[in-house]
């Protein structure tokens, strides 16, 4: 790649991970801040502790950003902490989204991790539906082993069309 091409490359933000329509289990105004997410759900959605996430509240239309912290595995915990607790109520339905910055050409083929918790499994979230679209075999094998170990239903992009 030439220096000119390198300097002219465009980076864009794309959805990396999404937990679609999950129920809030708590709001703790007196905690330092963040959103506490069940560890199994973090693993399935490929969101790491400390990662910046956007929250969209389906019930009231609020949109805000915070960071993820790990909750007890298989507890079903989805708790908004600190000032973010004012933007949700227990039992609200939210969407949790994280983004990645990629080169434009790479972004065209990038496949996000998208998780659909089911109504029947909330608040325990095990098993929950995972829509995975991966293109790196090693990463795919690791994610699949995590999902199988936690009894999570796995669906490929072809099965969810």
Closest CA to 144 of 34, 159, 1, 134: 134
CA 91 to chain centre: 18
Q: Which of 31, 54, 67, 99 is catalytic?
A: 67
C-alpha dist (Å) from residue 95 to 5, 137, 147:
37, 28, 21
Angle at 13 between CA 159 and CA 88, to 5 degrees: 80
Q: Is 34 a catalytic residue?
A: yes
Q: Which of 6, 17, 31, 34 is catalytic?
A: 34
The residues annotated with a catalytic role in the active site are 34, 67
């Amino acid at each position: 790649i030439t220096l000119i091409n390198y300097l002219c490359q465009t980076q864009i933000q794309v959805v990396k991970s999404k937990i679609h329509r999950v129920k809030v289990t708590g709001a703790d105004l007196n905690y330092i801040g963040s959103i506490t997410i069940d560890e199994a759900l973090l693993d399935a959605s490929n969101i790491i502790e400390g990662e910046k996430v956007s929250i969209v509240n389906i019930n009231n239309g609020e949109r805000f950003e915070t960071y993820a912290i790990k909750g007890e595995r298989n507890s079903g915990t989805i708790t908004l902490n600190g000032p973010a607790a004012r933007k949700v109520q227990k039992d609200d339905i939210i969407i949790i989204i994280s983004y990645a910055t990629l080169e434009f050409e790479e972004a065209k083929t990038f496949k996000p991790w998208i998780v659909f918790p089911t109504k029947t499994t909330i608040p325990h979230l095990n098993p929950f539906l995972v829509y995975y679209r991966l293109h790196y075999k090693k990463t795919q094998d690791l994610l699949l082993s995590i999902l199988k170990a936690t009894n999570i239903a796995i669906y490929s992009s072809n099965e969810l069309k």
